[in-house]
Structure 1
Amino acid sequence: MTAALPLHDDYAEQLDCIQANLAALAARHHGPHAALGFGATLGFAPKPGPHGLPGVEPDLDAHLASADAHLGLRVDARWRVAPSAHAAVLPDDRDSVYVIADAFHLPWVPYCAHQHMAHSFIIERDDGGLRATDHYWNDTQWGPARPGSWRLSDAELAAALRDGAEVIALTPHTLAPPLPEPRYVAPASADVEAYLAAYRGHPDRPAALAQLTLETWLLARSRRLHVALRTRRGEDPARWSDTLREWRGVVEQTYLALRRVQRGHPEPGAALDRLAALLANEPASFAAPTFRERVAAEVAAVLRVDAAALRAGEPFTIAPTFSSFRIVEIVERLEERLGVSFDPDDLVPENLHRLDDLCRIARLSAKEPT
């Protein structure tokens, strides 16, 4: 295996090991922000998982459906490669494929020879040979996983796929709009209570805490990605700075509890209480943006400026792109996307150069004046 070619991903730290390489493929066709599509819908939907515990990790089919809906990637073909048939991983009519195999056998990830788990990567052609590209980013107890690309010999590919692999060919399609509308789905309180009770009452504490460590890690990453999407669409990330800091704290506290129990020490308390408080506060934290924030986001998208500057009172004229053409585009965009119907007498320059002035005349007739 050749030395890694380092790669850069803006959102790698917010993606799990299945999402990361779907997002990388989408970015090749739709640009570097395509990964944000995975943050479109934020919720809490546990289902039965390992050790009789509920889990929030989406399955592969759910990830592929999300990639189709929000990343502009559609499954073109899907097949299973047997352990002895590694040569079939990349057919002659394909330049690249998305692969899922056991991380235990993948020499470029820290899980190699340590932990069995499904892990994705991309196989593509490279000067007559094959290259494995992996955009996953994580820190583990065995070392860091970082985005990179490695040329594999035939023997190395065979070893990496010794237990077989699932292979998926993906085709890009047009995204409209380029970034999806963010949506938060509040869970039923009974579902949250049942989830927490399952972890509190599980008799195998090391197993419960190991699973809970994964759970909090997944929940924290998904919330960071959702905030990144909402920020990209013009909302103020300061709204969630405390929430995201609390999520980081829960992840750290849960992992510390796991390590203490694994070493035979008493289980530190409060991790589940902290998680319960976070989940209880989420509906208010991730409520729909205010009308003013939505208007700022739309204006920022037209003018290609930071929405935070507009919310702070800067005039629209700070944008190098500002012109009467952009003003017309802003008015039409607000009418189409926010349901605003302006009074013609209000459409004068004095009302169309600052956010608060625009909101004042827009709020008079908006369908959702919040």
Structure 2
Amino acid sequence: MQDVISRSVLVRCGDRLPAVDSAYLDCVSDTLALLLAERGVADVRTPFAADWRFDLTSGPDGRLGPALPPADQDQLLGRRTGWRPRWQPTTDPGADARAWHARLTAGTPLVVVADAYHLPWLPYHGHQHMEHGFVVEAIDAGHDPMVAVVDPYDNVTQWGAAVPTRTSIALSDLAAALPGGRWGFLEPTDPAADTAQPADLILGNARAIAEAGRDGSYDRFVDQYRALTEADLTHLALQTWLLRRSRGLHRLWLAGLRPGTVAAPAADLLAGVEIAWQRAGESAYVALRRVSRGRAAPPAALDTLRAAADAELAAAAALLETEGEL
């Protein structure tokens, strides 16, 4: 990597970490929220939090899960904020670093999505292969440049806690994490005029949840886990984790609306939904630990999952009953 970088460059964005809902966003969305904050977007919660949906998608193994984050999140961010992520694949560490340097020189911080197994500041390091996003805010000059990283991620794992972090890593040490990854930056776009009032958004969300109940989405999601195999429970633990964080973020958004903007029960109803998904996740994790040790999965894993689905549908129904009050 001789002469990859000839001079140091810095675009400071780590000071914006407090603006990000790190405890509720996934490990790529939180980096996009950080970049939005750096670009001067005052509200980096609403673009990620205003939707409450249960749209199922099929994964590579055929198992169903809610589309979290939604497949069209990049387009949604463009319409809601005027900034849209532009992605490109990682290729070669030296070439990538030169491209990052050019972006930073232009005053643009960027996101890298790489393999968490090879990222030493994470508890997943050496344990689990998974996509993980982080922000690059600086590159130092030199034969083996140092890359300054800002990672907003906040989560407790079986190997320890991931907390919002600022650190540095040599480009040569980062290289193993890059194959198959991608990197991107925000580019301006024309935001769509959004005249929807919070009450309209809330009712639209409730109608979408109710429709997911009518079309059998919740039943299909729950029923696929009836065998409670180790693979089932591994998948379920991840899906309930995503659902709990998503519902918690939506609750925060509801609670943050101006007093009198929405009917008072809305945030309380979502708090109950969040707790229900948390219980389902905890039950799935306990069942997974038991099955991984050769023991039978407790029936409570399915019971708490069904209870969470029912709580979500009941909350939507309760909001629809208050339609005239919103």
Matching residue within 210, 227, 230 for 1:206: 230
* Deviation of 1:156 (Å): 2.5
**Structure 1 residue 216 and structure 2 residue 240: aligned?**
yes
Aligned to 1:356: none
Is the contact between residue 19 and residue 37 of structure 2 (CA under 8 Å) also seen in structure 1? Answer: no
**In 1, Cα distance between equivalents of 2:233 and 2:175:** 35
Aligned to 2:89: 80
Matching residue within 191, 194, 197 for 2:220: 194
Is the contact between residue 47 and residue 56 of structure 1 (CA under 8 Å) also seen in structure 2? Answer: yes
**In 2, Cα distance between equivalents of 1:59 and 1:246:** 20
* Deviation of 1:188 (Å): 3.6
**In 2, Cα distance between equivalents of 1:281 and 1:261:** 27
Unaligned 5+ segments in structure 1 are 292-367
Matching residue within 99, 111, 131 for 1:98: 111
Change (3 A) 1:70 1:288: farther
**In 2, Cα distance between equivalents of 1:30 and 1:110:** 31
**Structure 1 residue 271 and structure 2 residue 301: aligned?**
yes
Percent identical across equivalent pairs?
Answer: 32
**Structure 1 residue 261 and structure 2 residue 291: aligned?**
yes
**In 2, Cα distance between equivalents of 1:253 and 1:55:** 17
Aligned to 2:22: 12
Is the contact between residue 35 and residue 110 of structure 2 (CA under 8 Å) also seen in structure 1? Answer: no
Moved more, 180-189 or 263-272: 180-189
For 1:300-359, what per-residue CA distance to the aligned partner results, in whole angstroms no more than 9, with x for missing partners? xxxxxxxxxxxxxxxxxxxxxxxxxxxxxxxxxxxxxxxxxxxxxxxxxxxxxxxxxxxx
Is the contact between residue 110 and residue 137 of structure 2 (CA under 8 Å) also seen in structure 1? Answer: yes
**Structure 1 residue 141 and structure 2 residue 141: aligned?**
no
TM-score, scaled to structure 1 = 0.68
**In 1, Cα distance between equivalents of 2:129 and 2:284:** 21
For 1:180-234, what per-residue CA distance to the aligned partner results, in whole angstroms no more than 9, with x for missing partners? 74441221442221222211147xx111000000010111111111111111113
Change (3 A) 1:239 1:369: closer
For 1:30-88, what per-residue CA distance to the aligned partner results, in whole angstroms no more than 9, with x for missing partners? 4564133211211111111143211224468533223223344213x432122454424
Is the contact between residue 51 and residue 207 of structure 1 (CA under 8 Å) also seen in structure 2? Answer: no
The CA RMSD over aligned residues, in Å, is 2.9
Aligned to 2:132: 119
Change (3 A) 1:52 1:201: farther
* Deviation of 1:277 (Å): 2.6
Is the contact between residue 20 and residue 34 of structure 2 (CA under 8 Å) also seen in structure 1? Answer: no
* Deviation of 1:29 (Å): 3.1
Unaligned 5+ segments in structure 2 are 1-13
**In 2, Cα distance between equivalents of 1:249 and 1:133:** 31
**In 2, Cα distance between equivalents of 1:241 and 1:111:** 29
**In 2, Cα distance between equivalents of 1:113 and 1:71:** 37
TM-score, scaled to structure 2 = 0.77
**In 1, Cα distance between equivalents of 2:159 and 2:321:** 41
Matching residue within 137, 148, 168 for 1:131: 148
**Structure 1 residue 166 and structure 2 residue 182: aligned?**
yes
* Deviation of 1:93 (Å): 3.9
* Deviation of 1:252 (Å): 0.9
Structure with larger RCO (C-alpha < 8 A, sep 6+) = 2
Moved more, 182-191 or 100-109: 182-191
Is the contact between residue 148 and residue 167 of structure 2 (CA under 8 Å) also seen in structure 1? Answer: yes
**In 2, Cα distance between equivalents of 1:63 and 1:266:** 39
Aligned to 2:55: 45
**In 2, Cα distance between equivalents of 1:221 and 1:154:** 32
Is the contact between residue 48 and residue 55 of structure 1 (CA under 8 Å) also seen in structure 2? Answer: yes
**In 2, Cα distance between equivalents of 1:71 and 1:225:** 18
Matching residue within 251, 265, 273 for 2:281: 251
Aligned to 2:120: 107
Residues paired across the two proteins, number:
286
Moved more, 215-224 or 81-90: 81-90
**Structure 1 residue 22 and structure 2 residue 35: aligned?**
no
For 1:80-118, what per-residue CA distance to the aligned partner results, in whole angstroms no more than 9, with x for missing partners? 122454424504144311111111111111111111111
Equivalent runs, 1:347-362 vs 2, <5 Å:
none
**In 1, Cα distance between equivalents of 2:53 and 2:155:** 23
Aligned to 2:5: none
Change (3 A) 1:256 1:9: farther
* Deviation of 1:155 (Å): 1.9
- What SS does structure 2 have at the residue aligned with 1:51? coil
Is the contact between residue 20 and residue 33 of structure 2 (CA under 8 Å) also seen in structure 1? Answer: no
**In 1, Cα distance between equivalents of 2:325 and 2:248:** 28
* Deviation of 1:15 (Å): 0.7
